[in-house]
Amino acid sequence: MSKILVTGGLGYIGSHTVVALQEAGFKVIIVDNLSNSSVKVLEGIVAITGETPAFENFDLRDKQNTTAFFKRHKDITGVIHFAASKAVGESVENPLLYYENNINTLIYLLQELSKKESSNIIFSSSCTVYGQADVMPITEEAPIKLAESPYGNTKQIGEAILKDTCKANQNFNAIALRYFNPIGAHRSAKIGELPIGVPQNLVPYITQTGAGEREQLSVFGDNYPTTDGTCVRDYIHVVDIANAHVIALQRLLNKKHKSNFEVFNLGTGTGSTVLEVIKSFERVSNQNLNYKIVDRREGDVISAFADTKKANTVLGWKAKSSLDDAMQSAWKWQQTIKSKL
């Protein structure tokens, strides 16, 4: 049984991927510093899978602890690296935090993996690497433009570090998964997106507003060149994304990859405006959402949605859930959380 390290494995996408890995028969060990997650997420993972993953609580920015971890766990055969700060707006306000957290942790991780005879890593990348693309949908061959935010820049730098590492070491195998906008929750409502403090992402802010935890949702701008003036994004169910990580990992472990550094978009291939997401929520929740239009937010691109042909054909992966499916699961998760408060 392959032993897989999932960094940031108690976070939003990480926890759903841990579930998918365990359901696929992998042995999982999680490293998470709990800076934007909770140890209670472990309970949800166990409730869904009936299996408890190993868990170590430390910060990968601590190089000494990272080295000691890999000395204790020499039998790790693959790594899925989620541990990173991830909010566009926050990165504009606090860029040094993002460069330290997102770049240093990757470097320390790769330094340890480079000591192994062969290494396999899946990197949590993002559509933000494209900046404001000229053509929609966005293919993996789209030019990498100047990033619109420090967060986007850390993903560009992270991919460059991985690519250079793979070029220098042919025993090093990496896949960067550029996902668009993950939303939703596990169908069991036992795990989901659980931001600490004020949500930085659209959907949890919508569901918290719908549940009465937030007074009003701010929609940043209604004068973009889109169908209704609000920004367009490709919203993809988090469980679809989790399943893609398992498929990509199996590709590396089974040596099916054509190059030792590969990149894939993960999205639905369809763009939705902010107002369309709000309308989807109103449909599945049977209520009107309290929102207002405010000024644009620095760092936001106008439109971004994926061309998913490469992932569909090469990985054999395709997003299965609709926007309403994802919003329904997010709302069910929000109601579950509120009932526990």
Residues with active-site annotation: 151
Q: How many residues does the chain have?
A: 341
CA neighbor of 126 nearest in space, from 138, 136, 135: 138
CA neighbor of 323 nearest in space, from 287, 286, 271: 271
Q: Dihedral, CA atoms, 229, 202, 331, 23, nearest 10 degrees? A: 120
Task: State the DSSP H helix or E strand holding residue 208, giving kind and residue range, or none if neither.
Answer: helix 202-210
Cα–Cα separations (whole angstroms), residue 260 to 107, 163, 175, 251, 280: 18, 9, 8, 11, 40
CA neighbor of 161 nearest in space, from 102, 248, 233, 224: 102
Kindly report whether the peptide bond that precedes residue 195 is cis, defined as omega within 30 degrees of 0: no
| Radius of gyration for the alpha carbons in the chain, expressed in angstroms and rounded | 19
Cα(236)–Cα(218) distance, integer angstroms:
22
Q: Is the dihedral of CA 305, 309, 313, 319 positive or negative?
A: positive
Half-sphere exposure of 248 (CA within 13 A, CB side): 33
Q: Which residues pair with 30 in a beta bridge?
A: 6, 55
Cα–Cα separations (whole angstroms), residue 235 to 103, 203, 217, 274: 26, 10, 18, 10
Helix %, strand %, coil % of the chain (to 5): 40, 20, 40
